[in-house]
Every structure is written in structure tokens, then in C-alpha cells.
Structure 1
Amino acid sequence: MSELRVWAVPGIPEVREGDDLAKLIAAAEPGLVDGDIVLVTSKIVSKAEGRLVRADDREAAIDAETVRVVARRGTLRIVENRQGLVMAAAGVDASNTPAGTVLLLPEDPDASAEAVRAGLRDALGVEVGVVVTDTFGRPWRNGLTDIAIGAAGVRVLEDLRGGTDAYGNPLSATVVATADELAGAGDLVKGKAGGLPVAVVRGLGEAVAAEQGGARELVRSARDDMFRLGTSEAVREAVTQRRTVRAFTDEAVDPGAVRRAVAAAVTAPAPHHTTPWRFVLLESAESRTRLLDAMRDAWVADLRRDGKSEESIAKRVRRGDVLRNAPYLVVPCLVMDGSHTYGDERRDAAEREMFVVATGAGVQNFLVALAGERLGSAWVSSTMFCRDVVRGVLGLPDDWDPMGAVAVGHPAVAPGERPARVVSEFVKVR
């Protein structure tokens, strides 16, 4: 490619529901040839497909098109919509539409692009690519641009990985969003208010191909999205999506992720400006096995003293294998450094309770932070029943009280839905 030509197509009339866009474009005599790429604004696609709906309340229309709220500031919402796009207001457009109506994005923009492409082939006998475009704001950048939300017959991504640059250096991460670049080029000649909803790019015939995956390939998967949520939403998501995970994969746990979670844990509130938390990280398989074997022996001894049968004991021990199956263990401990002694049983008991509550707050921070790192966890109380054993095996000071153990790892299965809980059932207002 040595030269590109981009121009807007004049003569496209006002589009109404049921109009054949390919015929309208062909009638405007755009002079298309094989290898051209036609850029079509999503607004006219939506109008032709009857996506103009009554909506006295635009917010309700946005709610109906929203799958997930990504970030919110005042009335502005960045959401994931039904098409999988993350954008402001779910793409619901109230501009240039009759009062009391809004325009929704096409239901399937890739299918819309394919319909226009096939129609132009039938009408003009040309093999072209088609890109459906929409206006888009971008994180970290001011200003709007057009992006591709639908495509047909266009290579939307150009993967340069495995090649080399001009200096012979290997390209290991370069994947070019060709369809988005085309959409931005078309916007320069269409304009936002020029009444020119269609543009043509010529000179990039190598990007036109019959079988392509469509613009959905441009949408980053949730697993690969490092910026999936806004700040407050990320916190809320981590809290509400945290689950007790009892089955883990063999994938190793990043020790750095656990330490970041500990850093979050020690920001919890505590009495008297103290720091009552300590976290023992069991990173070696040998340390985990040694601790769990000793705890198992202590548990079995307790059960025998309780008169349990050997069969019953074996079943209980098997049910306790969540810690043994985890690739990483953490033992949170309580220390009473800085606590007050009153010489009064009631007040001394309340003092310890304050420190226990603070430790629980720290562990909750820890669990939520692990969820933010995409790690599963299970907080199990078992170390509290054999604290002397745990201290002895791990070589901990006598004033460190183990407060359970946290199994950490990558979840083996997706967490199940949490049973619905009605907030009013947990609230008393006075």
C-alpha cells in the first residue's frame, strides 16, 4: 500500500425503517470497485432496521440495553451492552431522533454489515468490504473517534506477531486494529454533523477478504481485560463476586498477588491505632503438608475423645480436604500488641473482642483483594481448634493466635450464583 483515498458519499436520503441500505448506497453512484471498503454509520443501519423506539425515559432505555455497569459518575454510565461493547450509555442515542424516541444500536452489527455487502454485490457486481461504525470515547484519551462495531469481508485485525521491525527486532505483541483505523479515517470525511453517513476507502484491497470473523473479534474477552471495571465498581464487584472456592486448578499462585492482598488487609480498622494482623504464607508444599498432617492428627484425637467411630472420623477428615487441595495456604493470626488491660473481666473480654473484630476485618479485606486478583479462596476455621499445634509446627510466637486458614488458588470451576438476599431482611431502621 502506497496511497489511500477516502471520500464521503453524497446523496444518501433520510433513512427510514425498512429501507434497503445497499440500494440507497448504490443509487448514490459511489463508483465502487472491487477491493473498496464501505464505511456505514450505525445510525442509518439502526433506522433501517427499526431500532427507533419510544422511550420517554432515556435512562430506562439504557437500563434495558445494559448487561453490566463498568463505571458510573453522576448520570454518566459506561456499560457493557447487549452487543458486548463497552461504551457510554450502552450506545443509546437521543440525538437527531423525534421527541420521545431513542435509537438503539443494531442488534447484530456484523450481520448488518454482511447484508449491506451482499446487497452491493447484487446491485453493482462488486466485491467490497463493509464496516459499520459508531462514535466512541476512549479510556485515558480526550475526544471521540469512530470505531468498527460491525464488519463483513474485512480483516478487522492484522496480526504482525512473529514478524520483525525495520531493525530486525521481533514483533511479539503487535496486533493492529485495522477496522477501527478505517472507521476513524471515514469519520474525517463524513463528519459528525455533515449529513454524510457513508464513506469509501480505496487502496487497502489487501484488507478485503471474503471470509472474516467480523468486528466482534475486536472486543477484548473478560479474561484478558485488565481494566474491566471503574474504581468503585471494581471494589463492589470484588466484594459481591467473592465466593468460597473449594476446588482449585494446579496453576501456581503468584506470591506477589498474595502480598498485594496482605497490603490491602492491613488497611483495615483496628482499636487504639494498633496493627493486630499477622499473615503466615505457606508457599512450599512441604510446609503445607507438615502443618495439615499435624492438624489432622490433632483433629482425629479430638474426635476419638468425642467417641466418634473410625468410619465417622474418616468421613469428616475427607470433608476437610479443601486446605490440602489448595496450592497455597495463608494462616492469618491475631496479636494483642497495644491492647489495654482493665483488670475487669467484662471490659477485658470486650477489649479482646475488638481485636478479634479487627482481625476479621483484615481477613475480609484480604479475601476481597484476592478476588480482585482473580484468585479463589476459602477461609476455614480449623487452625483455631489446635492453635498450639499450629504455633509449634510453624514456629510462631506464643502470642500469635491463628484465626483459621485461607486456601488460595485459581478456581477449578466458575463460582455458582449466590442465593438472592433481600437487604431489608438484614436492616433495622430506628
Structure 2
Amino acid sequence: MSTPGYRVWAVPGLPEVRAGDDVAKLIAATEPGLVDGDVVLVTSKIVSKAEGRTLAAEDREAAIDAETVRVVARRGPLRIVENRQGLVMAAAGVDASNTPAGTVLLLPEDPDASARAIRTGLRDALGVDVGVLVTDTFGRPWRNGLTDVAIGAAGVRVLDDLRGGTDAHGNPLSATVVATADELAAAGDLVKGKAADLPVAVVRGLPQAVRDAADDSAGDDTGARALVRVAADDMFRLGTSEAVREAVTQRRTVRAFTDEPVDPGAVRRAVAAAVTAPAPHHTTPWRFVLLESAGSRTRLLDAMRDRWIADLRADGKSEESIAKRVRRGDVLRNAPYLVVPCLVMDGSHTYGDARRDAAEREMFVVATGAGIQNFLVALAGERLGSAWISSTMFCREVVREVLELPDSWDPMGAVAVGRAAEEPRTRPARVVDDFVEVR
């Protein structure tokens, strides 16, 4: 059995690429000696030049703005963004190197289509069936230094899914999906270099990485887009400061929940975030009562319902009106998990003066609200929906009795927790200036 191995080399002799050039014909003209099963690695810069993606732009930042769909992270002048091609990278891929002063290069409009065109062109010109990757330089989370990755692919098995197999010791492989296209791109970068004017490389000896021509006719050429992790699977979708701001906006009131059980550990992690809120006099005015059993939730909600009905009847409301109002409590009854946050005044000051004593209580109420907001935001970070309902504040003595709480604990509403059954409605944008007064 032969020892596994492959060969990679740069293709010399390519001229300066200009708008309108056919990249496949330029490569073929160098007589690269391609054979079936080779993988041709093409630097995106020459593809961009050929496709007329050179832009007159004295201000590179404005060009980056135009190519940005979403800012992922920002630190000083550096921006990591999602660009129009769906790639997450520095500066949206806008490049001011290897292009005349006063211009920038944008990435190919559709790198997968560019790769397909080059592959077809090489097949027509040279009669070979090769894979083609369009590559660009990326930084990476957790790792210093840059490397080339595939941003466009044709005829290449971009991912090698080994899940379901076993390793040499017979252990099952449950999470191994190899980014073959990126590994090939990095290998090519070793011989192309960043300043050697060698924008094309060839890898030979890995025919298993090249897709059969029959796959193309079946429409089964997935391209490099398959390498981009979708938002639902991206655990690092935002930078640090962006994540903090986004977490606050993701806290939305959810009124319909699935039946999926709530992880008690997730709720406790949210409580841990809650109790970092500011509080007066170095106190800890928060307590969170976790109703983890269906029985405790039912007893509380039944008792609260009975008190609510009695209050509404005392107000002279009709039975029809009462029934309609009571149905508003279904959001708590239908949630798989309830939390009753409570205010405690331990450590508060007593002044013997109504004005100052009222202000003292208000400080503690505000601090409790800050803790509950922390709690709700942290739940959103756990992908849990929530609804903060005020009902327990209107029957505190009932809540204390049913839940056997100290008389000094003041229930401050109830929080319904669970997996959202549907996406919350889009919140209309609010103009900041409407809520700001500057003095």
C-alpha cells in the first residue's frame, strides 16, 4: 500500500489581470499541466479584478460600510462584519492592497459562481476535470495569525463528514466534520505567498476531494457556502460589547410557550446574573422563588385567581368581564416554569420621616427591578422566553401564605419562563432623542 501524500505548487507566468479577462483562459495559457483530480486554488483578488470589482474609493471605510450587512465586533478602527456574500470577516473583505492608489477591491459578487465558471473554462480549454477553489485570507477566533480559506468552490467536497464512523481505536466519531476546502486553501497559500505575485496554485494527489462531474449535472455542487455556519448554530455570532447590547434587545415578552421542560440550571445561571445588579447600602434585596413543580404552580395560581375574582366582584364587574380578565392570567398558567421575584428590605435605613422613608423604599424597589431585568436578559441569553407579570403584587399576602414565605418578603410579580412557541412581533424602532433631555 502506498504512503498517503500530495503535492502542491504555485503556477507561474500569469499576467496582471484586468477587468474583462477570462481567468480560466489565463491559467490555461500558462500550460499548467493539469490532470483530472487536481484542485486549482485561485486567489480572490484576481477574480475580483477580472469581474470588475475594483472600486474608486478614497475612503475605504465608506466602502466597508457599503459591503456590510451586520457588524459582528468592533475594536477601535477594526471591524469584523458579515458582508453581502454572507462571510464573516475583517473589513467585509474590502482590500486596498495590490490595487492602484485611490481604489479598493471588493470580493467577487458570487464566489461559488466564479469558481464554477473557472472550472468550466478549464474543462473547455484543457479537457480536464478539476476542482476549483476561490480563496481569501481570514483571521480566526482563538488563534493568532492569518490563513487562506475557501470562499468559493466548484467540484470540491468542501466538507468531509466523518460522523458515524470510528477512529483507529474503534471509538465512534460523533462530531468530526473536516473543512477539506479550507485545508486545501491553506496548503495553497504556503506556495502562493502574500507578496510573490503567484495568485494560483495546484494540489495534486487528493482526488477524493474532487467531486465527480456527474454531481454537477445533478445539481449537487454545494459550493463554499456550506462552510458558513448558520446563525442558529453560531455560538459566537457577536463580539463582546455587541453581544451585551444585543442581549438587552433580545429580552422580549413571550406569551406563548412550548411544552419543552425548562432546565433548572439555566434558571439558576440567570439568577446568578440577576444578583449582580446595583443595590443600596451594599445590600442584597433580591430573592427568587423557583416554582419547579406543577403542584406548586397550580396551588399559587388557583389562590391568586380566587382573590382576583373576589376583587373584581367587589368592583362591581360583570361575570363576563371577570372571566375575560381572568383569562389574561393564562400566560402564567400555560408556562412550564414560574419564578416569583421578591423584594426584601434587609439593611434598609429607617429615618422616621415619611419623605425619606418613602425614598428609601423606592431605592430598594428600583434595585429589585434592576435585578429582575438582569434575570430576564440572562434568560434570553439561555434562549428562554419570559413574561414578567405584575399579578403577585396585588395579592402579596396570598402568595406569602401559599408559598410559605416570610412576612418581610414582598412578591414583585411573577415571571413565566419557557421556550417561545413563536417569534415575538417586531418591535417598532424608538427614536432615542424622544427619551433624552440634555442640560
TM-score, normalized by the shorter chain, greater than 0.5:
yes
Letter of the 2:411 partner, please give it.
P
Counterpart in the other structure of 1:191: 193
Identify which of 30, 33, 54 aligns with 1:31: 33
Counting only pairs closer than 5 Å after superposition, residues 201-350 of structure 1 correspond to structure 2 as 201-209=203-211, 210=215, 211-350=220-359
Counterpart in the other structure of 1:62: 64
Counterpart in the other structure of 1:42: 44
Query: How far does the alpha carbon of each residue in 1:181-238 deviate from its partner, in whole angstroms, 9 at most, with x for none?
Result: 0000000010011111111111111111133311111111111111111111111110
Shift in Å, 1:113: 0.9
Shift in Å, 1:345: 0.8
The farther-off stretch of 293-302 and 71-80 is: 293-302
Query: How far does the alpha carbon of each residue in 1:283-331 deviate from its partner, in whole angstroms, 9 at most, with x for none?
Result: 2222222211221121111111111111111222223211122221111
Letter of the 1:73 partner, please give it.
R
- With the length of structure 2 as denominator, give the TM-score of the two structures: 0.96
- Give, in whole Å, the separation in 2 of the partners of 1:132 and 1:283: 53
Counterpart in the other structure of 1:72: 74
Query: How far does the alpha carbon of each residue in 1:268-294 deviate from its partner, in whole angstroms, 9 at most, with x for none?
Result: 111111000001111222222221122
Counterpart in the other structure of 2:147: 145
The alignment of Structure 1 onto Structure 2 pairs a total of residues equal to 430
- Give, in whole Å, the separation in 2 of the partners of 1:248 and 1:29: 64
Identity value in percent: 87
Letter of the 1:325 partner, please give it.
N
Letter of the 2:314 partner, please give it.
R
- Give, in whole Å, the separation in 2 of the partners of 1:114 and 1:289: 62
- Give, in whole Å, the separation in 1 of the partners of 2:41 and 2:63: 27
Counting only pairs closer than 5 Å after superposition, residues 165-184 of structure 1 correspond to structure 2 as 165-184=167-186
1:396 to 2:405 alignment? yes
Counting only pairs closer than 5 Å after superposition, residues 13-24 of structure 1 correspond to structure 2 as 13-24=15-26
Letter of the 1:266 partner, please give it.
V
Shift in Å, 1:41: 0.7
- Give, in whole Å, the separation in 2 of the partners of 1:185 and 1:250: 49
Query: How far does the alpha carbon of each residue in 1:119-151 deviate from its partner, in whole angstroms, 9 at most, with x for none?
Result: 111111111111111100011111100011111
Shift in Å, 1:364: 0.9
The farther-off stretch of 385-394 and 206-215 is: 206-215
* Gaps in structure 2 of 5+ consecutive residues: none
- Give, in whole Å, the separation in 2 of the partners of 1:389 and 1:194: 79
Counterpart in the other structure of 1:136: 138
Identify which of 381, 393, 414 aligns with 2:390: 381
Note the aligned Cα RMSD (angstroms).
1.2
Shift in Å, 1:255: 1.5
- Give, in whole Å, the separation in 2 of the partners of 1:227 and 1:95: 29
- Give, in whole Å, the separation in 1 of the partners of 2:20 and 2:249: 44
Letter of the 2:352 partner, please give it.
G
Shift in Å, 1:250: 2.0
SS of the aligned residue for 1:112 comes to: helix
Identify which of 122, 125, 129 aligns with 1:123: 125
Shift in Å, 1:33: 0.9
Counterpart in the other structure of 2:431: 422
Identify which of 351, 371, 378 aligns with 1:362: 371
- Give, in whole Å, the separation in 2 of the partners of 1:420 and 1:54: 34
* Gaps in structure 1 of 5+ consecutive residues: none
- Give, in whole Å, the separation in 1 of the partners of 2:261 and 2:83: 34
Letter of the 1:51 partner, please give it.
R
- Give, in whole Å, the separation in 2 of the partners of 1:205 and 1:9: 19
- Give, in whole Å, the separation in 1 of the partners of 2:280 and 2:365: 10
- With the length of structure 1 as denominator, give the TM-score of the two structures: 0.98
Letter of the 2:167 partner, please give it.
D
- Give, in whole Å, the separation in 1 of the partners of 2:18 and 2:261: 57
- Give, in whole Å, the separation in 1 of the partners of 2:107 and 2:202: 22
